[in-house]
């Protein structure tokens, strides 16, 4: 859609928007987006960026690093709903839901760009198509969660793990962060356990099995897929729900 694929130099908010837009943005729309005031911050690994119960007056886009959305039960059990890659706007929902029902944590050290809700509302009133586009972003994020739920409800640990690998390699690939089917993998096994709805012990066993099957390798925080077709088959992975244009 935009001639080059220079994810690094493009404006952060355009990374994802460009990849999901169904029409060509006008130069006015593009300019309006690019001049949104954005406050950049760094978040250390394992720190919460926002917390359940917060009432934010701004949302953020992830500039670099990997983050996770999670909820906890009253008894302290934790479930990761989805992971976020650069370009995502993980708490965009707070634009229209005052109280956050989820927490978002930095998995690796992250850079984030905060944008005031008021600025976004003003932008969307002036450019309705942009508002619809960001609405679309929240709908796609919701589709990720639904697919993830099908995963945890109806597939075993082996297929779930394979599916998570497929999804993240695809999404990181879409923003240029998984060349050669290989990417940084900052999640620890206890964190993966919270995403998959199993225990850390069983995560270890499952990864052992995926390695033994020759599908992936995972060492020193780096994931490499050796057999993409095999992984896709094990996961029953169908990327349609990601709404990524090829």
Partner DNA sequence: CGAGCAATTGACCGGCGTCAATGGGCGTGG
Partner DNA sequence: CCACGCCCATTGACGCCGGTCAATTGCTCG
- Contacts with a copy of itself by CB under 8 A lie at 22, 71-75, 77-79, 81, 93, 96-99, 101-102, 124-125, 128, 131-132, 135-136, 138-143, 145-150, 152-155, 197, 236, 238, 240-241, 243
User: How many chain residues interact with DNA (CB under 7 A)?
Assistant: 18
Is 112 in a helix, a strand, or coil? strand
The nearer residue to a copy of itself, 17 or 177, going by C-beta atoms, is 17
The nearer residue to DNA, 216 or 232, going by C-beta atoms, is 216
Residues 6+ apart with CB under 8 A from 233: none
The nearer residue to DNA, 71 or 222, going by C-beta atoms, is 222
Closest distance of CB 144 from DNA, Å: 21
Residue selected from 131, 173, 176, 197 as contacting DNA according to rule CB under 7 A? 197
Closest distance of CB 73 from a copy of itself, Å: 6
CA dihedral sign of residues 171, 65, 70, 121: negative
Residues facing residue 79 across a β-bridge: 71
Q: Which stretch binds DNA (CB under 7 A): 19-27, 131-139, 191-199, 234-242?
A: 191-199
Contact predicate 96/208, CB 8 Å: no
How far apart are alpha carbons 55 and 97 in whole angstroms? Answer: 9
Half-sphere exposure for 173 (CA within 13 Å, toward CB) = 18
Q: Is 94 exposed, middle or buried (0-12, 13-18, 19+ CB in 10 A)?
A: buried
Q: Does 202 bind DNA (CB under 7 A)?
A: yes
The nearer residue to DNA, 18 or 191, going by C-beta atoms, is 191
C-alpha dist (Å) from residue 61 to 42, 45, 134, 148, 186: 12, 16, 12, 22, 19
Contact predicate 68/195, CB 8 Å: yes
Q: Does 215 bind DNA (CB under 7 A)?
A: no
Q: Which stretch binds DNA (CB under 7 A): 13-21, 126-134, 203-211, 235-243?
A: 203-211
Q: Does 150 bind DNA (CB under 7 A)?
A: no
Q: Which residues bind DNA (CB under 7 A)?
A: 156-158, 188-190, 197-202, 204-205, 207-208, 220-221
């Amino acid at each position: 859609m935009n001639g080059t694929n220079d994810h690094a130099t493009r404006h952060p908010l355009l990374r994802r928007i460009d990849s999901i837009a169904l029409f060509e943005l006008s130069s006015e729309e593009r300019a309006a987006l690019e001049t949104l005031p954005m406050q950049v911050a760094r978040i250390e690994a394992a720190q919460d960026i926002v917390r359940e119960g917060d009432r934010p007056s701004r949302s953020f886009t992830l500039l670099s690093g990997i983050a996770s959305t999670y909820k906890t039960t009253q008894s302290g059990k934790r479930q990761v709903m989805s992971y976020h890659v650069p370009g995502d706007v993980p708490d965009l929902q707070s634009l229209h839901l005052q109280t956050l029902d989820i927490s978002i944590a930095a998995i690796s050290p992250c850079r984030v760009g905060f944008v005031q809700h008021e600025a976004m509302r003003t932008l969307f009133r002036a450019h309705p198509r942009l508002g619809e586009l960001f609405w679309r972003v929240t709908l796609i994020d919701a589709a990720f969660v639904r697919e993830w739920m099908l995963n945890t409800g109806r597939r075993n640990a082996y297929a779930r793990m394979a599916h998570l690998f497929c999804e993240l390699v695809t999404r990181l690939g879409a923003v240029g962060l998984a060349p050669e089917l290989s990417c940084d993998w900052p999640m620890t096994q206890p964190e993966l356990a919270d995403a998959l709805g199993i225990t850390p012990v069983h995560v270890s066993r499952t990864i052992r099995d995926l390695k033994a099957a020759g599908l992936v390798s995972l060492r020193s925080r780096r994931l490499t897929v050796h057999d993409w077709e095999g992984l896709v088959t094990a996961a029953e992975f169908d990327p349609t729900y990601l709404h990524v244009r090829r």
